[in-house]
Structure 1
Amino acid sequence: MADLEVQEKDGKIYCPLKKAWHVSTPEERVRQYYIAILANKYGYSLEQMDQELKVNNSKRGQGKARADIVIWKSEQDKKDKKAAFIVVECKAENVKVRVEDYYQGFNYASWAHAEFFVTTNEKETKYFNVDPAYLPQKLDEVVAIPTAKDLDDAARIEQIKNQTKLFTRDEFTKTLRACHNIIRNNDKLSPEAAFDEISKLLFMKIRFERDNKGMKVFTKQEYLDAAQNHEKNVRPGLKGTDLYALSYMQFLFRTTKEFFKDDRLFDDKDEINIRENSFIQILEKLETFNLSDTQDDVKGIAFEEFLGTTFRGELGQFFTPRTIVDFMTEILDPQEGEVICDPTCGSGGFLIKAFEYVREKIEADIRSKKDSLRLSIEGNDYDALPEDKQVKISHSIDKMQAALNTELDTGIEDSRMYQLSRNCIYGTDANPRMARTSKMNMIMHGDGHGGVHHHDGLLNVNGIFEERFDVILTNPPFGQNVDRGQLISEADKFTDEEMKKKYKKKYGAAYDEALKQVDDHIGESLLSLYDLGNTSTLTEVLFMERCLRLLKKGGRMGMVLPEGVLNNKNLQAVREYFEGKAKIILICSIPQDVFIAAGATVKPSLVFMRRFTNDEESEYANCKSEALAEVTALHQAEIDKLEATIAKADALTELLKDDLKKAQTKLKQAKKDKKNTTSVETEITTIKKEQADNRLNKKTAEKELKELYKQIDEETKPVVKKKFDYDIPIAKIDDAGITTTGAASEGNQLPQLVDEYSAYRIQNNLWPVLNNEIIYAMNTDGKYCRYIGSQEVVLNEQ
């Protein structure tokens, strides 16, 4: 049988299921081209399909009352009006369509008892298994739909239903491991070097597929065809350092480095360090995955699992368990618009969770706004309207959904997701491999990588400087010491003038000031930059101060810390330092088991603090002043007595000095007159003894006064705490969701603690909740806009 061809002429398109010519609208074109795919690729006959099938149910709000394409298992089932097998919903917008935009289709698929539901537009197609146990809205995304040949094979259909996102994620994880093994076997590279090569190739693949807007996958054949053209038509005759004189593999990597140059992912001298046959084998392994549009939670979690087995098992790298990352993020509850940082980001776990956490809030808000706008567009009498008006309303709903979907696209400037991705997520790591891994990990999870840098987390860089952040989440290195001889060097300076101009434009005078932290202290000790540098050289102590400095007034932070920081007597000065600058809002003791699988032996605690607001700083200063005055008053008589003793000693010092001078003059004259000097010498000895006694009395009084002031200082501290009193919630968790082997445990208590703490902190107003209500409406020009107060932003149209 010949393939079904789509016929178009004179602005019309032929619809074989209707045996009629229809106006060639964008949506109709999508529908007819997909009908051709169903016939030619999947083998479905026209006799077992229908289009624009009217919905026969009484539920209001189903959108347009016709399903785009319906497929039955057989022509006879269609005639007998049996349950449909597949329902297809078509849209015309060439944008990433969200599943909730297909509410008409998936509701119809559920009510029609279809087993599969398909969404398609000009760019992408997604497949879902309709779960009958959750009518009418439970969908599980799968990787394919059955072909006509599969219809009589119940086992095959069940297998397809089970090939869910989890299947795809597992397959991707296995594929990454297989790629790793190819390099280790073919090129004999170490595990970390093999990982670096995979990272390079993944970045090349991402760049290729993004350049092609997800319409092409970077396949083995794509590469071979382009490489052949490069070797035949481009490279001959070129010599030296010319970019095009490189092999095609190295040429692709060089252009990829240029594409990501602002991210400083690779060193200028980096190149591909594997054989071309390894490169081609890896491309072949990866070609079933389009990294441009594979769902973020699929490729992201897969990449994390690959990281976990590669780094934990072979490189000994330390990772914060996901249960802890989730818990700490949920406790601090970052909001849209807040700026978030991890100055020791490692593989990016905290940054990714914060990004996903805020993204989910944005997506939930968009879904809610779509629902309310849809109902307002439909009106109360939608079901009674003529079909042509229902179609017109449906198109209006599609326009609204497409407009609001632009808010979820990280590539559209000024969209809500663009702002989150580009302006709200920041991190540093001193290890270049981990910084690059963090960037890759974030790209796999949906982006936000631009704010991550390879840099010493204790030094300012680009967007990471003092009083910039609303939320900090981090797991700093434990038990290490910063060498007192470690100096700030010229290598620490940021010298890219082009990038400096960009940052100065973005951050203004604050960026100039931030650069001075390094530029004005070349040759000085790193420890000298920190108040606690003289008190402790421990990395966790310095990073606690660093994080506090990075926070805005009123900003909040969560840190994984060794329990000793909280109860070690040697670190009392450190605790007092923080008590004078921040409120402790939660201390959570967790089992040592949590980090044993990662190779850590120190018992950890999770410590949450909020930096004082301006008012709290003033309040604390006043409490301290009042407490000092009160305690000092209790010892004033003793102070007065000691100060009087010191003053008397000072006065006596001057008298004795004069007496000694006179006696020495008398002695000199007696010697000159050759008189007996015994009495004068005795007088001088007596004066000197009085001076020594007086100095001792003064020194004793001064020492006693110093000790008294030290005593007053110690006595003042509990008075300050009493005056500046607040509750410090303390929790002890016996099961944090992970065992000593790294496996998930069954009695995770952290989610319950999140619920309890959330209620507690809202009730006690521990920090203000942002209330920037966003409204969407159509303006007088017929364009959908975002309104925050009086601010209007016209949404990009795709």
Structure 2
Amino acid sequence: MAKTRKPTHIPSLPFPPTPDALHQEGNWLWIPVRKEWRDVSAKPEEIVRQKFIRTLVEHYGYALEQMDQERRTQHGHRSPRADIVVWQSVNDRLAKRSPVLVVECKTDTIEIQERDYYQAASYTVASGCEIFIATNQRHTSVFKLVARTPGEFVAINEIPAAADWGDAKRLKEVLDSLRAFNRKEFQDLLFVCHSILRDVHKMDPGRAFDTISKILFIKMYVERSGQHGTFTTDYLDRRAAVRLPTDLAVHDGLFEQTKTFYRADDLFTAADKLDISEGTFRRIVKELERFDLSKTGDDIKGLAFEKFLGTTFRGELGQFFTPRPVVEFMVDLLNPREGQLICDPASGSGGFLIRAFEHVRAQIVADIQRQKDEERARIEALGLPEDEEERQIEEAFSCLNTQLLPSGDDNQPIDTRVGRLAWQCIYGTDAEPRAARTAKMNMIMHGDGHGGIHYHDGLLDINGIFNGRFDLVLTNPPFGSNVGSDQMVGGSDETRVPVDSAYLQRCHERGYGTSWEESHHRLLQAAASKTPILDLFEIGKGKNNRPTELIFVERCLNLLKPGGRMGIVLPDGNLNNPSLAWLRRWAEGRAKLLAVVSLPEETFRSSNATVKASLVFLRKFTDEETAQWEAAWKQAHSELDAGFDTQRNDAHSVYAQRIVSGEDAEATRLLAELAALGLQRALLPWHRGEAPTYPRQAKPTMQGKPVWLGEVAKEHKKSAAELKKQAATALAGVQKHSNVLLSELKAKYKSIDEAHTAALWARVRELFDYPIFVAAPKTVGITSTGETGEGVASDLPDLLKAYREFENWLAQGAQPEATPNFPVPSPA
């Protein structure tokens, strides 16, 4: 576009009457502080700066005469520079006293990266100022210099207004308003909204929460679009002014638009409504309007939402919540890395997925910061003019920062490092629609990654969730329920197998490949034949029912790639109940047990029950480990089978004749005479039957009943027939005793089989031996009333350190003499 000529007039007002506008003619922008026109065609940050100057004037009461821009502490190369400097008064500025605010402006739209604003931070320290402000097109953060700690800043909640500097009490409140207060304030606002719905529309907690979630999604839709600013009642009034009589009410129309915006996420059904009055909607929008969700930091809104969520529902829907300290411990122990695929097939409110997302994002942010530090050092070493040096550093930082964007402004996937994490690596399902919707909102509040979360039965494949795909699985499956044989694939909304073209196209575009195609075809066939969900699982096939958490153990292992790891919360009965020894052996043949952490009873306590549970961490066998496991079984059989076969043969020898004769003298005599004629009554040798599919065990010893063998010569047939008749009569008289002896022999065989199986398992475990981390912490960061937080005792941080030592010891060869001597918390 051709550049316009520089204007020569001076605007009558520093800023136009239109809110948030600036005087701009073509590529020329009016700079009120310097009273000049500037060409901004190559300086988009100048627009950010002037908009913030207007904010300081109109919202915080500062005069233009109290400000300066592009200020350096001194002349010379690398002298710290500030975009905007504000003094307490005009006289202070003229007398060159210390300023009260230092501001740096950037064009990035992602969250503030504090170390990007090193110029303002350095200027703040060098000039004797106390507060620096970092701002970009969507976010503003305020930092206070920590007293007696040079160069260290702490985030606070507010920018002091001009009038605050003359009010010592008010100024102290502002400077002491740490950003954590913002989180509390947002949390309290959510409770206010909850109360409005309860009082006005008599909503129960669940329905009220659903309604708040819907309104938050509308707010997110409006504010993230970047077209309307903060979602306010003024915005509603502007919408109402252009509404036609035939249009939906403003709030209902906005919800319909929001449903369309999030259509691909399956958040809402076509029938979903707000079901509140316009007046109530307006009240809630008014309460929430001071928080722009696109500008509020993820740590603030995410933790506030999570706290509100847990407090509201811990009693009513406690099964959807795993205490945050436990979630953090499980994720940190498995330590997910960038590029790894992560799944929770029973995601509840999304705690595991959110923590995994945050964990990996923190790694990416740290790596981006490392690259920034390297780029800054490289550019500074070039000895460029100050403005060029700053321009190159700004450009390098801005380019690197794009890698931190999780989504496009259109809520669609974006090809950045955090975007790939959010849209390609995080997957979850929950069979309860409220929980699935909550997980999506929770994830958005924490910084996105919601696209892979679905309302669906976690035992069935959906979207990118299918067997053999994931590096990590983390879950707390439902306890105390059963999967029954009457639950069919495709038999309900949450077990549906999607067939719509948009879904199929999306799956193909995401490159899931032949594994997904096979999975989808298998489910289509299962739905067509009304296959029970149980029949999709080895431990469920042919059963009338199985406890849900047991089926989830197999589901999670199936989802993992070879070598993939999982963390699962399981009731202690699964670990120590003798009747479930088969499950433990089944799992042992498919995965290595990494760690078991027994939790205190208060960890999972609701209003009517307490479940004693443990955290179980497994690593699915690699192909090499599967081969090693099979080789161990082969070796164990080669070493042990012969010895146990001898025991079976000995037992057979002891019992065979006794069973044949019933230990009756007359029958014994008659059988001897028949044997002399060539006809024998015998108990054939034992043979091996077919072992069950699982768990691995010695094949059962099978034993038939006595049979007649041999052939009598022609000349003895008549006498043999008579003797056989007499023998049959004698044996009939002792048949019961013979049957008792046969049962005794079978019991001996069973005992030998059990000893054989036990010996095989013991030998395999010797051949396939490895250490397991076991601990039983006394405290895990949650009280008996469900409270968590910084003041609640927890052994988990020390336990994590101990596990890291254990991991290092394993990596170095697990030499017994080098076993770490770490204190593992355990019950007194």
Tell me, yes or no, whether TM beats 0.5. yes
**Going by fraction, where is helix more abundant, 1 or 2?**
1
* Percent identical: 38
Q: Secondary structure at the match of 1:230?
A: coil
- The runs of 5 or more residues in structure 1 that have no matched partner are 236-244, 668-677, 768-798
Mapping for residues 552-631 of structure 1, pairs under 5 Å: 552-596=561-605, 600-631=609-640
Alpha-carbon contact 1:131-1:140 (below 8 Å) kept? no
Matched, 1:114 2:129: yes
Which residue of 2 is the match for residue 151 of structure 1?
165
Alpha-carbon contact 1:15-1:32 (below 8 Å) kept? yes
Which residue of 2 is the match for residue 296 of structure 1?
298
Mapping for residues 417-436 of structure 1, pairs under 5 Å: 417-436=418-437
Matches of 1:469 and 1:541, distance apart in 2: 19
Matched, 1:4 2:4: no
Mapping for residues 187-586 of structure 1, pairs under 5 Å: 187-212=201-226, 215-232=228-245, 235=246, 245-315=247-317, 317-379=319-381, 382=383, 389-412=385-408, 413-491=414-492, 492-498=495-501, 499-505=503-509, 506-521=511-526, 522-533=529-540, 537-586=546-595
Q: Secondary structure at the match of 1:482?
A: strand
Alpha-carbon contact 2:103-2:134 (below 8 Å) kept? yes
Alpha-carbon contact 2:112-2:141 (below 8 Å) kept? no
Q: Secondary structure at the match of 2:484?
A: coil
Q: Secondary structure at the match of 1:231?
A: coil
Moved more, 644-653 or 498-507: 644-653
Q: 1:751 offset after TM fit, Å? A: 0.6
Q: Secondary structure at the match of 2:340?
A: coil
Moved more, 287-296 or 653-662: 653-662
Matched, 1:717 2:767: no
Q: 1:584 offset after TM fit, Å? A: 1.0
Match of 1:765 among 783, 787, 811: 811
Q: 1:700 offset after TM fit, Å? A: 7.3
Alpha-carbon contact 1:13-1:21 (below 8 Å) kept? yes
Matched, 1:76 2:85: no
Q: Secondary structure at the match of 2:594?
A: strand
Which residue of 1 is the match for residue 117 of structure 2?
102
Matches of 1:7 and 1:174, distance apart in 2: 39
Q: 1:712 offset after TM fit, Å? A: 1.3
One-letter amino acid of the structure 2 residue matched with residue 730 of structure 1: V
Q: 1:569 offset after TM fit, Å? A: 0.9
Alpha-carbon contact 2:598-2:614 (below 8 Å) kept? yes
Which residue of 1 is the match for residue 727 of structure 2?
686
Alpha-carbon contact 1:199-1:440 (below 8 Å) kept? yes
Match of 1:52 among 56, 62, 70: 70
- Once the two structures are superposed, what CA deviation does each residue of 1:297-353 show, in whole Å capped at 9, x if it has no partner? 111111111111211255555521111111111111011111111111111111111
Matches of 2:447 and 2:306, distance apart in 1: 13
Matches of 2:720 and 2:787, distance apart in 1: 94
Q: 1:168 offset after TM fit, Å? A: 1.8
Q: Secondary structure at the match of 1:89?
A: strand
Matches of 2:243 and 2:29, distance apart in 1: 41
Q: Secondary structure at the match of 1:537?
A: strand
One-letter amino acid of the structure 1 residue matched with residue 548 of structure 2: T
Matches of 1:190 and 1:661, distance apart in 2: 93
Q: 1:109 offset after TM fit, Å? A: 1.1
Q: Specify whether residues 631 and 310 from structure 1 end up closer, same or farther in structure 2 by C-alpha distance, changes over 3 A only.
A: same
Q: Specify whether residues 539 and 27 from structure 1 end up closer, same or farther in structure 2 by C-alpha distance, changes over 3 A only.
A: closer
One-letter amino acid of the structure 1 residue matched with residue 378 of structure 2: S
Q: Specify whether residues 103 and 653 from structure 1 end up closer, same or farther in structure 2 by C-alpha distance, changes over 3 A only.
A: closer
Q: Secondary structure at the match of 2:618?
A: strand
Moved more, 364-373 or 85-94: 85-94
Q: Specify whether residues 567 and 57 from structure 1 end up closer, same or farther in structure 2 by C-alpha distance, changes over 3 A only.
A: farther
Matched, 1:171 2:169: no
Q: Secondary structure at the match of 1:107?
A: helix
Alpha-carbon contact 2:431-2:456 (below 8 Å) kept? yes
Q: 1:269 offset after TM fit, Å? A: 1.5
Alpha-carbon contact 2:72-2:123 (below 8 Å) kept? no
Alpha-carbon contact 1:339-1:469 (below 8 Å) kept? yes
Alpha-carbon contact 2:131-2:145 (below 8 Å) kept? yes
Alpha-carbon contact 2:102-2:124 (below 8 Å) kept? yes
Q: Alignment length, in residue pairs?
A: 734
Q: Specify whether residues 282 and 687 from structure 1 end up closer, same or farther in structure 2 by C-alpha distance, changes over 3 A only.
A: same
Matches of 2:25 and 2:286, distance apart in 1: 40
Which residue of 2 is the match for residue 774 of structure 1?
none
TM-score under structure 1 length normalisation: 0.85
- Once the two structures are superposed, what CA deviation does each residue of 1:510-565 show, in whole Å capped at 9, x if it has no partner? 11222245333343333222222278822222111111111111111111111222
Match of 1:161 among 175, 182, 190: 175
Q: 1:376 offset after TM fit, Å? A: 0.6
Alpha-carbon contact 1:64-1:394 (below 8 Å) kept? no
Q: Specify whether residues 718 and 636 from structure 1 end up closer, same or farther in structure 2 by C-alpha distance, changes over 3 A only.
A: same
Cα RMSD between the aligned structures? 3.3
Q: Secondary structure at the match of 2:785?
A: coil
Q: 1:482 offset after TM fit, Å? A: 2.4
Matches of 1:326 and 1:766, distance apart in 2: 27
Alpha-carbon contact 1:316-1:599 (below 8 Å) kept? no
Higher relative contact order (CA 8 A, sep 6+): 1
- The runs of 5 or more residues in structure 2 that have no matched partner are 1-10, 16-21, 409-413, 658-680, 686-703, 814-828
Which residue of 2 is the match for residue 770 of structure 1?
none
Alpha-carbon contact 2:345-2:429 (below 8 Å) kept? yes
One-letter amino acid of the structure 1 residue matched with residue 233 of structure 2: K
Q: 1:419 offset after TM fit, Å? A: 0.7
Matches of 1:10 and 1:585, distance apart in 2: 65
Q: Specify whether residues 50 and 292 from structure 1 end up closer, same or farther in structure 2 by C-alpha distance, changes over 3 A only.
A: closer
Q: 1:156 offset after TM fit, Å? A: 1.6
Matches of 2:291 and 2:589, distance apart in 1: 53
- Once the two structures are superposed, what CA deviation does each residue of 1:440-494 show, in whole Å capped at 9, x if it has no partner? 1111111111111111222222221211111111111223222344333444341
Alpha-carbon contact 1:64-1:391 (below 8 Å) kept? no
Alpha-carbon contact 1:478-1:539 (below 8 Å) kept? yes
Matches of 2:490 and 2:316, distance apart in 1: 33
One-letter amino acid of the structure 2 residue matched with residue 588 of structure 1: V
Q: 1:86 offset after TM fit, Å? A: 0.6
Q: 1:737 offset after TM fit, Å? A: 1.5
One-letter amino acid of the structure 2 residue matched with residue 528 of structure 1: D
Q: Specify whether residues 718 and 246 from structure 1 end up closer, same or farther in structure 2 by C-alpha distance, changes over 3 A only.
A: same
Q: 1:504 offset after TM fit, Å? A: 3.6
Q: Specify whether residues 549 and 402 from structure 1 end up closer, same or farther in structure 2 by C-alpha distance, changes over 3 A only.
A: same
